[in-house]
Homo-oligomer: A and B are copies of this chain.
Amino acid sequence: MSQYQALKQTCYDANMQLPALGLVLFTFGNASVVDRENRVFAIKPSGVPYATLRPEDIVIVDFDNNIVEGTKRPSSDTKTHAVLYSHWAHIGGIVHTHSTYATAWAQAQLDIPVLGTTHADHLTADVPCAPPMADDMIAGDYEHETGWQIMNEFTRRGLAPDEVEMVLLANHAPFTWGPTVEKAVYNSAVLEEVARMAYLSTTLRADVPRLKDALIKKHYERKHGVNSYYGQ
């Protein structure tokens, strides 16, 4: 029996949450879970519909994208996951979807501005939209470079991946992560709802103001302060 059976099951369960939450159509998404001790991660196989996906279809891959276990081809986004796991030591799971509203913002190449507390309860920055990749990155090792495009944008903006657990990739779609894959799935659903609310507010009022600083600070402290509290 595989030593990675529990990892595969966790990965399978997370992947199955994506269609249940209305975040993926057909095969447009994938979730992965890392095993830091063995420096491998479990990820959805490529092109397998959720309706027929089984736990034993999950592929185990190392940080250099070698298949460690599994008979199927891993997701075409595997190299992007590998880059993030390699460099961001504290994340335990990654989710990629093409959820409708988040993708609409990514296609518009716009950050999602923090307009309300639904957003600020989860992150107090705008959801960053990494710019379109340079032509040589695209022509090169595309999915590997996609990981670097995300990391470089976080560096450029001075964002911490433990604090901002989501990103839009211009022209593409969102990635989210978290200490666990369950949190990464949760973040994908929150991002889609935040993207939808921001779409509605922006089309209702073109000059909609960002959340005032005092509220951003308050919500940051509710979550992070020594006397943190929150949960509704």
| Chain A residues engaging chain B, CB cutoff 8 angstroms | 25-30, 44-48, 73, 75-77, 96, 98, 100-101, 103-110, 115-118, 132-133, 135, 138-139, 142, 171-173, 186, 189-190, 193, 196-205, 208-209, 211-212, 214-215, 217-218, 222, 229-232
Inter-subunit contact A118/B103 (CB<8 Å): yes
A211: contacting residue among B75, B171, B214, CB under 8 A: B171
Within the oligomer, what is the number of copies of this chain? 4
Inter-subunit contact B132/A215 (CB<8 Å): yes
Contacts of A100 in B (CB 8 A): 193, 196-197, 200
User: A50 → chain B, closest Cβ, in Å?
Assistant: 11
User: A164 → chain B, closest Cβ, in Å?
Assistant: 19
Inter-subunit contact A132/B197 (CB<8 Å): no
Contacts of A117 in B (CB 8 A): 98, 171-173
Cα–Cα distance between A50 and B229 once the two chains are bound (Å): 19
Inter-subunit contact A202/B199 (CB<8 Å): no
Inter-subunit contact A197/B103 (CB<8 Å): yes
Inter-subunit contact A104/B28 (CB<8 Å): no
Contacts of A199 in B (CB 8 A): 200, 204
